[in-house]
Each structure stands twice: as C-alpha cells, then as structure tokens.
Amino acid sequence: MNAVFMPAIVFAFGLICGSFLNAVIHRLPRGIGLCHPSRSFCPGCGRSISWYENIPVASWLVLRGRCAGCGMRIAWRYPLVELLTATLFLWLWLAFPPGPAAAYMVLAALLVAGTFIDLEHMILPDSITLGGAAVGVVLSVFIAGLHPVAESWDGRLRASLFGAGVGFAVLYGVVELGKLAFGRKKFTLDSPEPFEIGGTAEVPRLKIGDEDWDLREVFYRPSDTLELHATDGTVWRLTARGVLREDGGSVGYDEAAGGSGAVNAVVVPREAMGFGDVKFMLTLGAFLGWPGALFSIGAGSVIGAVVGMLLLATRRLGDAGRIPFGPYLAVGALLWIAVGPEFVRWYFTR
C-alpha cells in the first residue's frame, strides 16, 4: 500500500509546487511580490482566481485554457510546469533515499523556475541563483549523502563551497574568454543613417534612423564602448558613463544631448553569455559538487550547441541570435543527477 500511496503523495505535492512555481515564473521578473497580492490573478483582467479555478492541471483542462472572467488564453506553460515538476519529484523520490531526494527536489524546483524565466525574459534572477546557492550549502551541511565523498558535516560544507566556487570560476573564465574573442560586433549600414544622442545621465538614449535605443540595455559592464563611425570620419565612442572625446576626456549624456550626424557603421559591445548563468553555477555547484558542476557545463554546452544549430538551420534563431544558456545548464544538472557519476566511472575505466 505504501509503495503506491507515497509516490501518489509526492506526485500531488509536485503538482502543488509546480503551481507555486508558475506564480514565481510570472511574478519574479515583473517585480510582483509573491505575497502581495496573496491570491493568483488573471494578468488580462486582474480578476482574483478562486481556489477551484486554480487546481493544478485539472482547472486548466476544465476551463479549456482560458480565463473564466475575460476569456484570455492561459498559456500552455502552466500545466506543463505543474506536470514537469510533479514528474521530476516522483522520479527523485523513487531513485534516491529520502534525504538526498528532498534536496534534489529543491534543486529541481529552482531549475524549473530558472529555465522558464530565462526562456521568456533572458534573465536569471539573483533570488534563484544566489538564493539557490545559499540553500544548497545549508542542505549540504544537514543532509548526508548529498555529497557522497564527504561523510562529516564539515566535509560536506567544504564540498559544497568548493563545488560552487569551481562552477562559478570555470564559467566566469568562459565569459571572459568569450568577451575577448566575440565582445564586439560591427554592423555596416547599407546607406548612411542620421543619429542623435539624447536622454540623461540616468537614462542615456541613442537614435539611429527610426530606431531609438535605451543605452542601459547595451552596456553590460562599465568598460563597454559603443562606436559610431560617422560619414565625416569622426568616431563617436559612447560608454555607460558618457561620450568619450577625441582628446581622451569625456562628457556626460546631459552635455552630449543633441550631438548628431550621419553614421555608416556601428560597433556594439556584447557578451558571450549573461552573468546570471555564471551565478547559476553557484547553485549547481553547491548542490552537486565540483564534478557535477563541470559535467553540467559540458553537457549543457553540447546540448545548447546542438539546439542552436538546429534553430539556425530552421531560421528560428531570434533576438539577435541570442539563446538562453540557463535551460541547458539545468538539463546538464538533471543529467548529472540521473547518470552523471556512472557515466564518469564508465568513461575513465573503459
């Protein structure tokens, strides 16, 4: 009886956690508190959702994927997240002892939330990356078996902290090398376009032709520079702090506002990946140790490259060719939990 009852309880618990994760995925990137408003609401009409309209999966099916108030379509993501979370929880419960299974469930919830936020918004919030790392360290101390090579609590603490550090350092190194190799991209215009610098020091803006750029979204770090190659031979260099002059000095955007001309080429700064991915490795390393962190990076890179090539081949690679890396790190982490240690042992003993 218990062999059926407990898995059913775990699956139902996973559905409920998935419903909560849907709220996290919707609210966190939009700056909406998880407790205010306390009840779920329709993003279309703002109507509070009754409890019987918020039963995981079942309510979505009964309502045929639409709000009962305004008829707005409810995204397929909602039942998918609930079913995915429940399936992961059930698998972990059946595959591991209760202690490690519970810890891995926490990690799985973080991976699901981070994946769907990254897919929609191309960000990984600190509350998931840094908060997840802190939770991983704490759980490592109290749950024996999460880091099998370390038996004592202080050994598990060291393994967790070292794993977080290794994961962070390796991916940070990849980001820095990628910045050196691919940190600038030059766009040559078919014909000269007028440009004008505007905005303020707090909200600098640049208009090129009909496009109005918020420069806060262009500069990833203080050292980044955007170059405007004007038709008169002048090169305008824009940074997060202001506009660089030819003599090496700079003026703020308040003073530079109104600067204009015609441009035939633009050199923009870019990153190999977002820094949220680097901080995400703190979480993975804290839960999985340094072998799991390295495996997650390797497996995630291979899977991401394959998916990227498929998207490129099918002409479905949007958003200036960017794809989020967080979901592939998450898949790599789940692969490590499922088969990673056995794969490593097989690979080095074959």
Residues 263-283: pLDDT tens digits?
999 999 888 778 899 999 999
Peptide bond into 204 cis (omega under 30): no
Report the alpha-carbon distance of residue 247 to residue 252 in Å, rounded: 15
Contact between 147 and 289 (Cβ < 8 Å): yes
Could you tell me where the DSSP H helices lie in 143-274? 153-182, 253-256
Torsion of CA 220, 222, 223, 227, to 10 degrees: 70
**pTM for the full model?**
0.84
pLDDT of residue 34: 80
Lowest mean pLDDT across 149-158, 254-263, 317-326: 317-326
Lowest mean pLDDT across 230-234, 291-295, 314-318, 335-339: 314-318
Give the mean pLDDT of 95-124.
95
pLDDT of residue 80: 96
Share of the chain above pLDDT 70, in %: 96
Residues 19-51: pLDDT tens digits?
999 999 999 988 888 877 767 777 777 777 777
Name the residue with higher pLDDT: 8 or 38: 8
* Structural element, H or E, at residue 93: helix 77-95
Residues 238-250: pLDDT tens digits?
998 888 876 567 8
Locate 156 and state its tokens.
Answer: 């598990």
Residue 113 CB coordination number (10 Å):
26
Q: Is the pLDDT of residue 200 over 70?
A: yes
pLDDT of residue 49: 79
Lowest mean pLDDT across 35-49, 197-211, 288-302: 35-49
